[in-house]
Amino acid sequence: MFAVGWGANQFSPMLIVYRHSLGLSAGEIAGLFAIYAATLIPGLLAGGPLSDRFGRRAVVLPFAALSPVATLLFVLGPHSLPLIAAGRALAGVCSGMVIGPATAWVQDLSGGDARSARRAALALSAGFGLGPVVAALLAQWAGDPLVVPYLPHLALGAAALVIGLTVPGAPPARAGDQAGTAARRWPPAALRTREFWLGVALPAPFVFGTVSLAIVVLPEEVTSARTLSAGYAGLMTILAFATGIGVQPAARRLAARWPRAGIIAGLGAAAAGAAVSVAAVAGPSQVLAGLAAALLGLAYGLCLVCGLHDAEQLAGPHDRGTVLAAYYVLAYLGFAAPYGVDGLNAALGKPGTFAALAGVAALLTGLMWVRAARVRPAAGASSSRTEAAYSRTAP
């Protein structure tokens, strides 16, 4: 998960390099984002159910092996837009086919340990965070900025595959048992519950929506085209992912003690981060933008860990991959936030756009608070019984 996350997100700061070195238009930059999303979503939708049917190893390892191949295409064609686009498309497929099944694999190997959501989130977040940071630093200060930033992932991807080959797999669903048969029904029981759609799906887009605002939108909003650099984008990425990773132990404890506390805290951090962004883009102020990125990173870490925890609680062992993949699909919708911001800027202006986002996040925070208060478990119940009573609403 760490290696594939690295490969998926290392490309983000490179868009600045490609824009300056290859003279790409805004439409071509948007197209490179769209190609990734167009292959990522089908990969997520296919990877989860396939891993439930055939096992985690059978799905994860082949696409983990293809992840550095996608990076190799960037190295082989640094000035070829078709090869760059092909690399992005393959990276999207690999991310989709690995992330959901690998998260379920972590849960399988954790034996029901409540820390499994944090483990998966930590591995993915570390890859997502370090990949673009290293790529940005190498692009800014190393030679050959179109090639050197990708070399670390080639080595990391190969090493991760070798290690992954030694990891035991979980058995796939058996055709003859009742649970295995239920796992092949679509949609799984967990995805037919009100708890999933109101408690898990509704805040899911804030996972990657907040971090995309921090690492994609804010760097461009507080700098000019002349001063925007891969180094500053890398710094914003460090701030966002450092706070997002740092809060994950607390997020795991919140998720275990009160299933909605982490989500409420995450949405509150998103509202605060968007509010600080109003002042940052009005200035503009790179310092305030850094503070906003840290708050948005907190929102990312809290929402990711607690969302995964709640999705895992709703899923069973034979449909876990499918349920987690569905959660990631909803979370990845947040990467459309930069496009939404561009559209709203024309109507509301930059400060007005972030004020509107802060209002939406604050409203959803209040709604989740009210919903959590209505179903708060009785005092004195054990944490495991609390989670079961709260989250398992489907037969």
pLDDT digits (tens, 9 = 90+) for 340-372: 888 888 888 889 999 999 999 999 999 999 888
Contacts of 356 (CB under 8 A, 6+ apart): 344, 348
On whether the CB atoms of residues 133 and 141 are closer than 8 A, the answer is no
For residue 284, cis peptide bond before it (omega within 30 degrees of 0): yes
DSSP 8-state code for residue 214: I
On whether the CB atoms of residues 119 and 1 are closer than 8 A, the answer is no
pLDDT for the residue numbered 112: 65
Q: Structural domains in the chain?
A: 1-170 (1.20.1250.20), 188-395 (1.20.1250.20)
pLDDT for the residue numbered 219: 85
On whether the CB atoms of residues 391 and 313 are closer than 8 A, the answer is yes
**pLDDT, tens digit, 9 for 90 and up, residues 299-346:** 999 999 999 999 988 988 888 999 999 999 999 999 888 888 888 888
End-to-end CA distance of the chain: 31
Q: pLDDT below 50 — which residues of the chain?
A: 175-176, 178-183, 377-395
pLDDT for the residue numbered 375: 64
How far, in Å, CA of 129 to CA of 122, rounded?
Answer: 10
Measured on CA atoms in the order 179, 185, 187, 193, is the torsion positive or negative?
negative
How far, in Å, CA of 54 to CA of 225, rounded?
Answer: 49
pLDDT for the residue numbered 243: 95
pLDDT for the residue numbered 13: 81
How far, in Å, CA of 304 to CA of 36, rounded?
Answer: 21
Contacts of 250 (CB under 8 A, 6+ apart): none
